[in-house]
Amino acid sequence: MTDSSSSCCAPLRSKPAAPASAPAGLVRVRTGSTEGMKRLPGGEFLMGNDRDYGFPADGEGPVHRVRLDPFWIDATTVTNEQFNAFVNATGYKTESERFGWSFVFLGHLTPAERERQVRLVVQGSEWWCRVEGATWRHPEGPGSNIKKRWSHPVVQVSWNDAAAYAAWAGKRLPTEAEWEFAARGGLGPGNRFPWGDELEPGGRHLMNVWQGVFPTTNTEADGHYGPAPAKSYRANGYGIYAMTGNVWEWCHDWFDAGWYARSDMDNPTGPNAGDRRVMRGGSYLCHASYCNRCRVDARSANTPDSATTNLGFRCARDD
Ligand SMILES: [Ca+2]
Ligand SMILES: [Ca+2]
């Protein structure tokens, strides 16, 4: 496995700032509609892993006991249709719209588009391009649109955009612990995926990742080159879709690779400060040989203003 920096999944729009002073404290919310959400019972579970398949810099261990109150979580990531309702109601402008550009996976661009639009290919992660005019409505740049993708996860949204949507919906982003609890689907520790510990049990493809040679050849054995509709593949034991694969998902918490060694046990909400926010679950670009993070216990992070073609979110709500 190639040791990849987190930039393989998370090109940074702005350099990480000095630890931000935004409070880590989670605002509990119980106002949003629970339509399309699942109520999870909470309780105790073992978070993280002590195995050696992850990247040491991600801090996937030590395994530690966490106890959660019951909570609600979206069964799917927020779709373009849902995000459109938010924008129509509020006139909200996403950060990609305000910056005027965002990150697009090179494989989504035609050679001509690459010539015309690329201002900067990300050093060390040459499959990421800065594309002018890439926004949630035009995920791969001005020549693209979401007309046939209303049921797909909204992408090209930053953590700040995701938090704004959640607040409007009377919800919040899930904590990292809630996300992992939900992803595990009620299975015990020692399972890397929402259905068990095998990537492709019986040769079946149970999530949208990358088959072939990353980043050049994708056999699309799982049926999708790019993002799939939010409700794709089989739900996990909690009735939740695509926690792993498809698109990365923002979580509430600040990221700290050393956090698990000192995390609270009860309803942890992450460190008090940080320069990047947690993202979870991996995406359609994940491949075991490269970014082996399409797992329930894998962690990554990005600056709160960053956005890409493979990063979305789902919301949570208190019980
Ligand atoms: Ca795929
Ligand atoms: Ca996902």
Q: In what order do the strands lie in the sheet with 128-132?
A: 101-105, 128-132, 118-121
Q: 284: CA distance to ligand 2 center in Å?
A: 9
Query: Residue 153: beta bridge partners?
Result: 79
Q: Which ligand is nearest to the CA of 207?
A: 1
Q: 41: CA distance to ligand 1 center in Å?
A: 32
Q: 292: CA distance to ligand 1 center in Å?
A: 14
Q: 212: CA distance to ligand 1 center in Å?
A: 10
Q: Which ligand is nearest to the CA of 222?
A: 1
3-state SS assignment for residue 164: helix
Up-side HSE of residue 30: CA atoms within 13 Å toward CB?
Answer: 4
Q: Which ligand is nearest to the CA of 209?
A: 1
Q: 282: CA distance to ligand 2 center in Å?
A: 6
Q: 226: CA distance to ligand 1 center in Å?
A: 6
Confidence check: pLDDT of 24 > 60: no
Q: Which ligand is nearest to the CA of 284?
A: 1
Q: 40: CA distance to ligand 1 center in Å?
A: 28
Number of C-beta neighbours around residue 212 at 10 A: 13
Q: 79: CA distance to ligand 1 center in Å?
A: 18
Q: 156: CA distance to ligand 1 center in Å?
A: 19
Mean pLDDT of 115-119: 71
Residue at token pair 């391009």 = 129
Q: 244: CA distance to ligand 2 center in Å?
A: 4
- pLDDT classification of 20: cutoffs 50, 70, 90: low
Give the percent of the chain with pLDDT over 70: 94
Burial string for 250-275 (b: 16+ CB within 10 Å, else e) reads bbbbbbbeebbeebeeebbbbbeebb
Q: What does the mean pLDDT of the chain come to?
A: 92
Q: 222: CA distance to ligand 1 center in Å?
A: 5
Confidence check: pLDDT of 3 > 50: no
Confidence check: pLDDT of 6 > 60: no
207, with CB counted inside 10 A (0-12, 13-18, 19+), is buried
pLDDT in the model for residue 111? 85
Q: Which ligand is nearest to the CA of 312?
A: 2
Q: Which ligand is nearest to the CA of 194?
A: 2
Q: 178: CA distance to ligand 2 center in Å?
A: 14
Q: 112: CA distance to ligand 2 center in Å?
A: 30
Give the percent of the chain with pLDDT over 90: 80
Q: Would you say 209 and 294 are in contact if contact means Cβ atoms under 8 Å apart?
A: yes
Q: 246: CA distance to ligand 2 center in Å?
A: 5
Residue at token pair 């797909």 = 152
Give the global pTM: 0.95
φ, ψ of residue 113 in degrees (nearest 5):
-65, -40
